[in-house]
Amino acid sequence: MSKRIAFVHTVGFLVEDFRARMRDAMPDADCFHILNESLLKDLLRGAPQPLVYRRVVDQIVLAAEAEPDLIVVTCSSTSPAVDIARRLVPQPILKIDDPMMAEAARSGRRIGLLCTASSTVEPSTALLRAHASEQGREVTIKTVLRPEAYQALMAGDRARHDAILIEAAADVAAEVDVLVLAQASLGHLRDPLAAQMRCPVLASPPLLMCELARINTR
């Protein structure tokens, strides 16, 4: 029997993105989506993290009240709030980046972390280190932050967004063993970047879908 899965989003276009992914990969799954764009926007404008995290937890609790079997949080920047929510709701909660960070830690010692939102850097770095520690691995992390790419994407200029990140990836290619695309909004760049880089390039959406398929068959 297919599981009921709740998705909690902070970026609008990811709702339809994951609707489509679930239709293709798990058409029989019972899914619903909760969107609150103010959470990421407030983090980026410098709102106090504890106050934003409390609201993230509220969204997760709201999702839990609908009695899903699993809750998926698709925002990398709100990762610390998930750790709080895990103590409050009975359902398992999966961070979108959990499968990717686990794979990154397995894939190499020098890990590049490509970000466009400043609010993503700290939680993504911490999550990557946590997965490396669980595996008993020592890693070095090189963070590459391109906020101008995020600004271009929010302005509707995906071509500029992509060009900025492709250039950034090329600059760091020789210095890393694996490149991590730290946000779901970068996922569409995995294939073009993998074609130009000699190291593995990891994106969270496809790895998340593999994990959901595994969970759904248990």
Question: Pairing between strand 93-95 and 70-73?
Answer: parallel
Type of residue numbered 160: R
Cβ atoms of residues 115 and 145 within 8 Å = yes
- On whether both 122 and 192 belong to a single domain, the answer is yes
Per-block mean pLDDT, blocks of 10 residues, the chain (218 long):
89 93 92 96 93 97 97 94 96 96 95 94 95 96 95 93 95 93 93 91 95 84
- On whether both 163 and 176 belong to a single domain, the answer is yes
Cβ atoms of residues 112 and 142 within 8 Å = yes
Structure confidence at residue 198 (pLDDT): 87
- On whether both 92 and 185 belong to a single domain, the answer is no
CATH number at residue 178: 3.40.50.1860
Number of domains in the chain: 2
Q: Give the bridge partners for 71, in sequence order.
A: 6, 93
Rg (CA), the chain: 17
> 96, 123, 154 — which closes off a domain?
96
Cβ atoms of residues 137 and 101 within 8 Å = no
